[in-house]
Structure 1
Amino acid sequence: MARSRSQIDSYGFRANVAIVLFNEDNRLFWAKRVGMDAWQFPQGGIRPDEAVEDAMYRELYE
């Protein structure tokens, strides 16, 4: 989905969520980026009219 210009603020940023997951042994969950040799915490933009928590679950799913 293309980003709407209205999602980007006057400083060039957009609202986003990042999720840091760890278990009872303090082991972290990192996701490997598709088609890249890189790892990161799940994260992404918040859609207009989307609740932060809903964006978090959507990003985990994606």
Structure 2
Amino acid sequence: MLAEGTLDTVAPVWATTLTALLADPARAQHYRTQALTRVQNFGPEPIMQRWESLLQQA
């Protein structure tokens, strides 16, 4: 949906995308669920596991 470009060309795309998202509660719920799942990848435990793995490889 989003393409690279200057702000004057990207802003209308953002507006269209957000308007469509706000008009579709099911899709908005899907993105909320996906976001909650994704954010768990950045909690302390997963980050520590990645650091430990990286340090063991060094």
Same-fold status (TM-score > 0.5)? no
More strand by share: 1
Classify the TM-score, shorter chain: under 0.3
The normalised TM-score by structure 2 is: 0.22
Is the radius of gyration larger for structure 1 or structure 2?
Answer: 2
More helix by share: 2
RCO higher in structure (CA 8 A, sep ≥6): 1
